[in-house]
Amino acid sequence: MGKRPNDAGGRPVTDPRAMRALAHPLRLELLDQLAVAGTLTAAQASVRVGETPANCSFHLRLLARYGFVEQAEGGRGRERPWRRVPGGIGTPATHDDETTADAARALTDVMVERHLDTVRRYRADVQPGLPPEWLDLSGHTNVITHLTLQEARELHDDMIAVLTRYHDRSTDPSRRPAGSRPVRFFGYLMPLPPDGAQDPA
C-alpha cells in the first residue's frame, strides 16, 4: 500500500525542499488567504497579512517554484494576481530517508501550532460576532472510538471525501453560491496505545 497523506487534500508533498518552503507561517497564511479570496496580487495580499508587497511577492514566487500557487490571468508584475493550484496539500506520515522525515516533522509542527493558534484567535475575535445560525455550527468535537486498522483507513478516507466535497470553490470563486462564507475544519486522527494510556512525558 502506498504512503497516505496525513492532511486533507490531494497530492502528497514528498520533496524535503518543498516541505521546508511550506514550513513558514507567512507562506501558509498566504495559501489560506488565496483559498478565501480566490486570487490576490502581492499588494492585495500584503493588506491581508500585514507584510510589504515586496515580501509577499517573494514568498508567492517561492510557493510557485514548488507548485503550490500559480499566476492567474490579468495584471502585470506585482499587480498580476496569484491563485492556489487546485488540489489539496498532503504530507505523508512515513518516509524512506531521515532528511525527508525531518523536513516533514518540521512542517507538521509548524502547521499544527498554526492550527491551534488559529482556533485561539477564532474563539477570541471571530466567534463572538457570528450570527446565531452560524454560531450554532461552530465549535469543537472530540471523539474516542475503537477501530481496526481497516476501519480507521475507511473512516479517514470518508472524512477526507466529505471535507473536500466543495474544495473547488477555494480556487474558483464563481462556484461559490450566494450566502456562502469561508469555513475551516481542522481534524487530527490520533491512534492511541491499545490500553488508552498516554506515553510518559
193 located within any domain = no
* Domain enclosing residue 63, as ranges: 11-175
50 located within any domain = yes
Q: What is the pLDDT of residues 4-49, one digit of tens each?
A: 544 444 568 889 999 999 999 999 999 999 999 999 999 999 999 9
Parallel, antiparallel, or unpaired for β 82-84 and 69-71?
antiparallel
186 located within any domain = no
2 located within any domain = no
Amino acid identity, residue 156? Answer: H
86 located within any domain = yes
Beta strands, E only, 63-161: 69-71, 82-84, 89-90
Tens-level pLDDT at each residue, the chain (201 residues): 444 544 444 568 889 999 999 999 999 999 999 999 999 999 999 999 999 999 999 999 999 999 999 999 887 766 899 999 987 787 777 778 899 999 999 999 999 999 999 999 999 999 999 999 999 999 888 899 999 999 999 999 999 899 889 988 988 899 999 999 999 988 888 999 987 566 544
Q: Which residues pair with 88 in a beta bridge?
A: none
Q: How many domains does the chain have?
A: 1
180 located within any domain = no
Q: Give the CATH number of the domain where residue 152 resides.
A: 1.10.10.10
**Mean pLDDT for all residues in the chain:** 87
66 located within any domain = yes
Dihedral angle over CA of 61, 62, 67, 72, nearest 10: -20
51 located within any domain = yes
